[in-house]
């Protein structure tokens, strides 16, 4: 799950990069930047969940 | 605010003053070292100061050998990619050992000097979260990765004329990503590393009970912590002033505003944290107030040259609230053992500082300059969000991944015996206070 979270973080950043470099429309670009940011937040939540689960396993 | 393009031109007076500001920055290093040591345990105090000195030295050397060549400076040669008809600078193209720089007081050489002390601050931040359990040798190796890869890459993007600073020119996002004093490039990069280290090392023995409740392990010296705050203020004056001159291209006259804003934000954040802890615990908490102070300094950095003094107070108050509440929340709900509070005071406060630029910054509306200030372009929000997304989506995986990989080859955590004995005796062979009895695990409940 942690690896998936890290991959989602990277995927979100790639969406952000793609939006600013390839989308000519300001509105579309802004929408995809926010979408990429949302994917990153999802990735961060997964990484945190994985950390908590691993701590629970250790206990 | 400067965006992409050539670097600033300095008069002789500006160069001398910039040099003096840079000379103040090591005080921030000293302040952070004292804070980290004071917030750690007595039996690891000498180890903490030794680690601070060593990681600072490693970071400076790595930056000298290749870090600066990756960071570069606006107007200097860089690796550029052309995408959809626009040039995007993605990495510096200097030589190893600073050979490409004429070290004669040019803005590029001053930026290299500032970068060298800045990377030292970045390197010290994770020491707070890894206190009492991070091997000295592992901390130095981790610093090589942080100071030699993560910091210079992001610093190029934000400060060295890289693609984040080009967002204004290339995508009409206000002035591009703005981070004059390093809320992102220094604090968040260091804070992200602190979070990674705290996760990889795991909590200290006895920090969490079997049912997951945290035990209090108080810092051993509040005097160190609070004196460190005062030293850090002087260091941050230098950091924010030199950064504003070199990376944001503000005129020398605006440095008074920079120093005023830095001080006001720190003061407001500290008082807010003291009030919050007074209300919650019945009396002010010294370590959380110190964390609040640090959070205020960190949050002030990004927009220090572009916000009004009243806005700096607001930035400080919000940073104080954020830090005072999040330190406990992170420990209780995320089970992260961060003795120095680095994740809150640097990562969260740094992100808040970056966002505050979009909310509070006022930029010259016309060529008349500072006399005619207007609110920042709405696109500034997007530029700051892209910068934050880069820190979370690129820098965090890079730093976490590289430290995870390092941990596979060199175990970063000290052996249980070393943790019980204290890192002073275990790794250095002598304690910081030889005439003082070192206590056992009197705070431990589950270990």
pLDDT by residue (tens digit) across B95-143? 999 999 988 889 999 999 999 999 999 999 999 999 999 999 999 999 9
CA-based radius of gyration for chain A: 15
**Residues in chain A within 8 Å Cβ distance of B336:** 51
Pick from B57, B48, B439: nearest CA to B228: B48
What the block records as the tokens of B166 is 């080009």
* Pair B73, B160: CB distance under 8 Å: yes
Residue in chain B closest to A11 (alpha carbons) equals B393
The burial class, CB within 10 Å (0-12 / 13-18 / 19+), for B109 is middle
Q: What is the model's pLDDT at position B171? A: 92
pLDDT band per the 50, 70, 90 thresholds, residue B436: confident
- Cβ-contact B140, B58 below 8 angstroms: yes
Q: Which ipTM did the prediction report?
A: 0.96
User: Under an 8 A CB cutoff, do A59 and B210 touch?
Assistant: yes
Q: Which residues of chain A have pLDDT under 70?
A: 57-59
**In 3-state terms, what secondary structure has residue B251?**
coil
* Residues of chain A with C-beta less than 8 angstroms from the C-beta of B208: 55, 59
Q: How far is B49 from chain A (nearest CA, A)?
A: 29
Backbone angles phi, psi at B90, to 5 degrees: -115, -15
**B171 vs A20: CB contact, 8 Å cut-off?**
yes
**Read out DSSP for B50-95?**
HHHHHHHHHHHHHIIIIIHHHH--TTS-EEEEEETTEEEEEEE---
Interface with chain A: mutation pick from B172, B389, B395, highest number of A CBs within 10 Å: B389
- Residues B281-298: pLDDT tens digits? 999 999 999 999 999 999
pLDDT computed for residue B434 by the predictor: 82
Q: Show the tokens assigned to A37.
A: 């940011």
The pLDDT, as a whole number, for residue B205 is 92
Whether B445 shows a pLDDT value over 50: the answer reads no
* pTM, rounded to two decimals: 0.94
Token pair recorded at residue A57: 């396993």
Average pLDDT over residues B177-200: 97
How many angstroms separate the CA atoms of B290 and B38, rounded? 11
Q: What per-residue confidence (pLDDT) applies to B210?
A: 81
* Chain A residues within 8 A of B202 when measuring between CB atoms: 55, 58
Contacts of A16 in chain B (CB under 8 A): 386, 389-390, 393
Per-residue confidence (pLDDT) for residue B277, from 0 to 100: 97
Kindly report, residue by residue over B295-353, the tens digit of the pLDDT: 999 999 999 999 999 999 999 999 999 999 999 999 999 999 999 999 999 999 999 99
Among A6, A26, A59, select the one facing B212 at the smallest CB separation.
Answer: A59
pLDDT tens digits, one per residue of B423-434: 999 999 988 888
Alpha carbons B314 and B445: distance in angstroms, whole number: 40
B442 has pLDDT over 60: no
- Mean pLDDT to the nearest integer, B212-227: 93
Do A33 and B379 make contact, defined as CB atoms within 8 angstroms? Answer: no
CB contact under 8 A, B83 and A33: no
pLDDT at A47: 96
Collapsed DSSP state (helix, strand, coil) of residue B301: helix
Residue A8 pLDDT: 97
Distance between CA atoms of B20 and B105, rounded to whole angstroms?
12
Kindly report the nearest CA distance between residue A23 and chain B, in angstroms.
Answer: 9
Rounded mean pLDDT, B229-236: 98
The candidate with the shortest Cα–Cα distance to A33, out of A21, A48, A45, is A21
- B chain contacts of residue A2, beta-carbon cutoff 8 Å: none
B231/B238 Cα distance (integer angstroms): 11
Query: Residue B290: what pLDDT?
Result: 98
Task: Provide φ and ψ at B224, rounded to 5°.
Answer: -55, -45
Closest CA of chain A from B172, distance in Å: 9
Q: Does B446 score more than 50 pLDDT?
A: no
d(CA B306, CA B188): 20
Lowest mean pLDDT among B247-251, B256-260, B436-440: B436-440
The residue written with tokens 């952000």 in the block is A16
Give the mean pLDDT of B172-185: 95
Helices then strands (H, E): number in chain B?
19, 4
pLDDT tens per residue, range B43-101: 999 999 999 999 999 999 999 999 999 999 998 999 999 998 899 999 999 999 999 99
Question: In Å, how far are B180, B185, B291 from B296, measured between CA atoms?
Answer: 15, 16, 9
Tens of pLDDT along B368-411?
455 556 677 888 999 999 999 999 999 999 999 999 999 999 99
Average pLDDT on B195-215 reads 91
Asked if the model's pLDDT at residue B158 lies above 90, the reply is yes
Which residue in the set B386, B390, B397 is minimally distant from A6, CB to CB? B397
Query: Helices H, strands E: what count in chain A?
Result: 2, 0
Chain B residues within an 8 Å CB radius of A37: 385, 388-389
As a whole number of angstroms, the longest Cα–Cα distance in chain A is 52
Closest Cβ–Cβ partner in A29, A36, A51 for B389: A36
Chain A residues closer than 8 Å to B167 by CB: 20
Strands B78-83 and B362-364 come out as unpaired
d(CA B297, CA B258): 11
Average pLDDT, chain B: 93
- Interface size, chain A vs chain B, as Cβ–Cβ contacts under 8 Å: 74
Strand B78-83 and strand B86-92: the pairing is antiparallel
Say if residues B10 and B237 touch (Cβ distance below 8 Å).
Answer: no
Residue of B nearest to A6 (CA): B397
């Amino acid at each position: 799950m942690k690896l998936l979270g890290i991959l989602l973080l990277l995927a979100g950043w790639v969406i952000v990069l793609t939006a600013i470099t390839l989308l000519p429309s300001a509105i579309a670009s802004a929408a995809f930047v926010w979408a990429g940011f949302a994917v990153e937040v999802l990735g961060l939540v997964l990484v945190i969940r994985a950390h908590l689960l691993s701590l629970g396993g250790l206990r | 605010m400067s965006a992409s393009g050539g670097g600033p031109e300095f008069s002789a007076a500006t160069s001398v003053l910039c040099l003096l500001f840079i000379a103040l920055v090591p005080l921030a290093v000293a302040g952070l070292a004292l804070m980290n040591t004071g917030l750690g345990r007595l039996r690891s105090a000498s180890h903490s100061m030794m680690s601070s000195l060593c990681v600072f030295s490693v970071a400076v050397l790595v930056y000298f050998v290749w870090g600066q060549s990756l960071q570069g400076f606006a107007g200097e040669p860089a690796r550029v990619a052309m995408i959809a008809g626009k040039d995007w600078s993605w990495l510096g193209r200097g030589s190893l050992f600073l050979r490409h720089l004429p070290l004669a007081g040019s803005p590029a050489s001053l930026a290299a000097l500032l970068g060298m002390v800045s990377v030292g601050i970045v390197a010290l931040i994770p020491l707070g979260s890894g206190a009492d359990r991070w091997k000295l040798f592992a901390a130095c190796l981790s610093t090589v990765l942080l100071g030699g890869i993560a910091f210079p890459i992001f610093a190029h993007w934000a400060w060295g004329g890289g693609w984040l600073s080009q967002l204004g020119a290339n995508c009409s996002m206000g002035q591009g990503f703005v981070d004059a004093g390093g809320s992102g490039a220094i604090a968040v990069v260091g804070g992200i590393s602190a979070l990674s280290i705290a996760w990889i090392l795991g909590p200290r023995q006895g920090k969490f009970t079997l049912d997951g409740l945290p035990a209090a392990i108080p810092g051993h010296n509040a005097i160190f912590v609070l004196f460190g705050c005062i030293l850090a203020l002087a260091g941050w004056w230098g950091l924010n002033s030199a950064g504003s001159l070199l990376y944001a291209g503000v005129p020398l006259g605006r440095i008074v505003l920079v120093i005023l804003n830095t001080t006001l934000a720190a003061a407001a954040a500290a008082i807010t944290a003291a009030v919050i802890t007074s209300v919650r615990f019945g009396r002010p908490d010294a370590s959380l107030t110190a964390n609040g102070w640090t959070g205020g300094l960190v949050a002030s950095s990004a927009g220090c040259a572009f916000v009004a003094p009243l806005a700096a107070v607001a930035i400080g108050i919000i940073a104080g609230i954020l830090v005072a509440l999040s330190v406990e929340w992170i420990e209780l709900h995320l089970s992260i053992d961060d003795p120095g509070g680095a994740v809150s005071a640097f990562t969260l406060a740094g992100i808040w500082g970056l966002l505050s630029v979009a909310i509070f910054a006022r930029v010259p509306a016309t060529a008349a300059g500072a006399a005619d200030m207007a609110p920042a372009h709405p696109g500034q929000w997007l530029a700051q969000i892209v910068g934050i997304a880069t820190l979370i989506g690129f820098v965090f995986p890079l730093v976490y991944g590289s430290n995870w990989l390092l941990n596979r080859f060199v175990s970063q955590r000290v052996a249980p015996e070393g943790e019980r004995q204290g890192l002073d005796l275990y790794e250095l062979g002598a304690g910081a206070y030889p005439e003082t009895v070192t206590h056992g695990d009197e705070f431990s409940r589950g270990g």
